[in-house]
């Protein structure tokens, strides 16, 4: 089960596929901001992006859905989500 504190969750999301990090990273940042999620990207490569997200579980799920559809210049093969430690806010 995902760690939660006042309806806020922290999860590590790993996105795998044919990813153009130069365009996908700004896209991820914009969409996380639109959903009100805090995010921190910890790894980027042509086939893998890792980020941490914090916010309501439903909005993290919406972020996963958005990333799976992604911008037109990426092909997302899979997304893995794992809970991480509790958020202190």
CATH number where 64 lies = 3.30.70.100
Tell me whether residue 56 is exposed, middle or buried, using C-beta atoms within 10 angstroms of its C-beta: 0 to 12, 13 to 18, 19 or more. middle
Residue with tokens 């999860």, as numbered in its chain: 11
Q: How far apart are CA 86 and CA 48, in angstroms?
A: 25
Specify if 61 maps to a domain: yes
**pLDDT in 10s for each residue of the chain, 89 residues:** 444 445 689 999 999 999 977 889 999 999 999 999 999 999 999 999 999 999 999 999 999 999 999 888 899 999 999 999 754 44
Specify if 88 maps to a domain: no
80, containing H or E segment: strand 75-83
Cα–Cα nearest to 35, from 59, 57, 12, 13? 59
Total domains present in the chain:
1
């Amino acid at each position: 089960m995902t760690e939660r504190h006042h309806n806020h969750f922290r999860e590590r999301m790993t996105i795998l596929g044919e990813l153009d990090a130069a365009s996908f990273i700004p896209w991820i940042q914009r969409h996380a901001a639109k959903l009100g999620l805090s995010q921190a990207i910890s790894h980027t490569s042509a086939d893998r992006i890792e980020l941490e997200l914090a916010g309501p579980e439903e909005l993290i799920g919406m972020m996963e859905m958005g990333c799976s559809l992604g911008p037109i210049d990426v092909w997302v093969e899979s997304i893995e989500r794992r809970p991480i430690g509790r958020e202190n806010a």
